[in-house]
Amino acid sequence: MVTKVDNIAPIPDLGYSTGTIRVSEDEAEAIVQNYVNEISSVRGALHPNGDLLKLFELIQNAVQSRQESEKVPGDKRLLVLASDPPEEIDTEAITFSLLSRGPGQFNKGPPNSARVKELAPHYRGAQNHPEHIGEKLITMGRFFDSNIAFNIYARNDMTALKRVFWFENVMDSFRWLFRVHHIEALYQGTGDKAKVKIGNLELTKYPMTFFVRTEEIYQFGVQELKKFVVKTSVLL
């Protein structure tokens, strides 16, 4: 089952990270490569900026793809929202919020423990400029590290707990999709259950936290890069 993102390419659901696998390894590789090729043909080169808004959009589409695969009726589907759930919901909801964000950190330890940070863009590579013959196109990149909370809402404790496990699996199953878009999302854990009241509803809430690494990409022609470096040096 597939669903659309950006009206560019279908997002396939390759199956669960554990349990039933819908396609073979070779089929999965071919499907992912087809997705990459479709994006590349539209964007010219597969080097999109990986950012948190893109991650949120990808998760919305991954959730939709999984629910289509599971043949969940439209009126019973999970809502993936950027804000608190509406006062009246007939189904469950997930909200998305930013806990912290900073320059990418580097070491061999756990996330958020490094002292070396990527405070400025660094060289990522070069290729022939597609428009200016004989000129190179320089790619610069910069990593950002964020901690994200996804809050699971449901009308009772057991439904909320089942949805936590379900969402864990979706995030794991679609890691390939996030990586294609230069995003790494690592599950950090689920917090304590809480009861919250929204409108006339009393809902169960579980916070799930993820460490997310995104990469912002900048591309310059050689002459543009020289002007940028000179301008930056003057400002400093």
Express each pLDDT in 151-170 by its tens digit: 999 989 999 999 999 999 99
Is the pLDDT at 31 greater than 80, yes or no?
A: no
What radius of gyration do the chain's Cα atoms show? 21
Q: Terminus-to-terminus CA distance in the chain, angstroms?
A: 53
Helix extents (H) in the chain = 25-43, 52-69, 157-173, 175-180, 222-235
Top-confidence range, 108-112, 116-120, 214-218: 214-218
- Within its chain, how far is the Cα of 151 from the centroid? 16
Is the pLDDT at 129 greater than 50, yes or no?
A: yes
Residue 131 φ/ψ, nearest 5 degrees: -115, -30
What amino acid occupies position 10? P
Top-confidence range, 124-133, 161-170, 226-235: 161-170
Enumerate the domain spans of the chain: 2-235
| Tokens describing residue 33 | 């490569």
pLDDT tens-digit map of 53-94 = 888 889 998 999 899 888 998 888 888 887 777 666 667 899
Taking the CB of residue 149, how many other CB atoms lie within 10 A of it? Answer: 15
Is the pLDDT at 26 greater than 90, yes or no?
A: no
